[in-house]
Amino acid sequence: MKWIEARVVFDFPDTGLAVELISNIFYELGLTGVVIEDPILDSTEDWVDSPQDIPEHNAVTGYIPADERLQDRCRRLESELSQLEGKTGIGFEVVYDETVEADWAESWKQFFKPQKITDRLVVKPTWKPYTPTAGEIILEIDPGMAFGTGTHPTTCLCMELIEKYLKRHDTFLDIGTGSGILMIAAAKLGASKLTGIDTDPMAVAVARKNLILNDIPVDRFCVETGHLARGINTPFKMVVSNILTGVILKLLDMIEPVLAEEGMFIFSGITRQNLKEVLDKIEARGLQTVEICTREEWAAVAGSHKDYSISNSFQSNQ
């Protein structure tokens, strides 16, 4: 299948805010997977192989199917970006390039190598050799055409909080699962039943493939195409979403049926600038914030029902 790579090169002092706002435009177009280029971040990450791999500019890239909706989506993308520029001053340039599915999938492979996320969790691309040390948990990942290598700060924050708060045999719901990386981490940390939801059927297929690759039994997980928590009525002990602030705010209005009485939620993909808005919404929904973690321009929040005492009920899985 052919795709059009839409690379939005931008110039704005608050990189995290610009990334979120541009990513949200792609999300509204129905494209949930984006590639983020950050010269400062990428120059310090272990998964960059060499200096020539470091991008020169800040950019957000989305991949648009080359089908009958292509021209309309490109026009909408440029129109929304122009409106964004008028409101915020984010300067941009869109560069289009034709690609094919195989090329896109292969393009990920030059950018990252095994990376230690926590003392125990290590994300390892399937094509890179790695010898684990005692106690390390290896997460094999091939992102293919789905979002989620596991190395972005928002994903790292999620995994740190999952490792801290997940109890053995907890049920686990991942909304916007992408490559399935968070489901894999939860499974290897002891979650019993796992469910992943994504609007992109391709991401669902990639996540399922990665779960099987990591020897997660098929009777322990379910990955489905869907929109946020719509249609899910089963409560889960842990609900996780690494997505965008605007989507998290919508999800908070839908979380009651899916969060168990003694359950925890973890939300990431929040810029520091938007953190207060999320915290206010958590309070307004009758929930409580348990912990806030930050890294660079990003924040992640762990929380629960207000009447749930973490100090009395939390049991480490370590």
pLDDT digits (tens, 9 = 90+) for 199-211: 888 889 989 999 9
For the whole model, what pTM was predicted?
Answer: 0.75
Q: Is the separation of the CB atoms in 69 and 63 below 8 Å?
A: no
**Which residues share a beta bridge with 303?**
265, 289
Average pLDDT in the 169-195 region? 95
Reference 268, options 241, 246, 291; nearest CA is 241
- Is residue 76 pLDDT above 80, yes or no? yes
| 226's tokens | 């869907």
- Is residue 164 pLDDT above 60, yes or no? yes
pLDDT (tens digit, 9 = 90+) per residue, 6-43?
Answer: 999 999 998 888 888 898 888 778 775 677 787 765 44
Average pLDDT in the 263-272 region? 93
pLDDT tier for residue 145 given thresholds of 50, 70 and 90: low
For 109-147, give one letter per residue: b (16+ CB within 10 A) or e.
Answer: eebbbbbebeebbbbbbeeeeeeeeeeebbbbbbbbbbb
* Domains in the chain, CATH or no CATH each: 2-108 (3.30.70.260), 112-313 (3.40.50.150)
Residue 294 CB: number of other CB atoms within 10 A? 13
**Which residues share a beta bridge with 271?**
298
